[in-house]
Structure 1
Amino acid sequence: MTPFDRPPVGMNLGRTAKLVAQAFDAALVEAGGTLPVWLTLLSVKSSKLANQRELAGMIGIQGATLTHHLNAMETQGLLTRRRDPVNRRVHLVELTEAGEAMFETLRKAALVFDKRLRVGLPDERLAEFAQVLAVLRANVES
């Protein structure tokens, strides 16, 4: 068997990641959200009074892109932003009641999707898969 008898690992991983991401986004849309909204809500929820720079880093997007998402989410009543009293250049982001409710709705959708994704995979195989992913990440980071 030659290396060209099967798709390269990176190509297979890329195709799979794209398909899974599209299906996850569709599940979030069906629940009334989007992937950027979910990632933002999750990041704000996991770090009380996060500032915008920290949020952008947690989500892995540029500050300007985050600002666009935060503006829309603030208009929808999902979160509030206020100046940090210690450093007026920093905006602190908090979820509103509507944001908390949307977080819970999207959390449930994410859990249902994760359960669907894991069908047929025993815990041992998932643990092994997580190790393989860690090695792949380490290989591209070095």
Structure 2
Amino acid sequence: MDYWFTDSLPYLLNRAGVALGETFSRRIARYDVTLPMYRVLAILRQTGPKSLGELSSLVSVEMSTLSRMIGTMAKAGQVTRIRPPENGRVVSIEITAKGAALADELMQIAMQFERGILGDMDAAAAEELKTLLRQISQRIDRL
């Protein structure tokens, strides 16, 4: 058989992803923020307000889990829930000034973390890797 499980793409991607997530989570633990919370803060900081549905998709967290997490983050003063006047059924999540400051600090850590992972890989190779990973994600979405 030509298939070797520990050399398969799904295995290697999962192994790298899990290791990255666990290591980065340890780096940011002292901020009392989980990895999904960091992702919410970073996305809101970079793109502005999002609905729960949009955030759920972007941070890869189930809607019910995300809703509870947003409640925790709101109590910590990192985000607010806003109901736009034109549509009271929709809830928009916005980052607060406190959340933005935290996101800025955590994103600096994330940039250093990424530089450490990429090591001496040149910029073109790093961009090619990211392009390939985006393409893989798009293909998975179509399965």
TM range (shorter): 0.7 to 0.9
The within-5 A match list for 1:123-138 is: 123-134=123-134, 136-137=136-137
Whole-angstrom distance in 1 between the partners of 2:43 and 2:75: 19
1:91 matched to which residue of 2?
91
Q: For this pair of structures, how many residues does the alignment match?
A: 142
Q: CA deviation at 1:68?
A: 0.7
Q: In structure 2, give the amino acid aligned to 1:88.
A: G
Q: What are the superposed Cα offsets for residues 60-115 of structure 1, whole Å, 9 maximum, x if unpaired? A: 22221111110000011111112211111112222222111111111111111111
Using CA pairs under 8 Å that are at least 6 residues apart, name the structure with larger relative contact order, 1 or 2.
1
Aligned to 2:62: 62
Percentage identity across paired residues of the two chains: 21
Contact kept, 8 Å, 2:6 with 2:12, in 1: the verdict is no
- What TM-score, normalized to structure 2? 0.82
Structure having the higher Rg: 1
- Report the alpha carbon displacement of residue 135 of structure 1 after superposing the two structures with TM: 5.0
Unmatched runs of 5 consecutive residues or more in structure 1? none
In terms of mean alpha carbon deviation, does 69-78 or 91-100 score higher? 91-100
Residues 93 and 3 of structure 1: CA distance in aligned 2, closer, same or farther (over 3 Å): closer
Q: Normalising by the residue count of structure 1, what TM-score does the alignment of the two structures yield?
A: 0.82
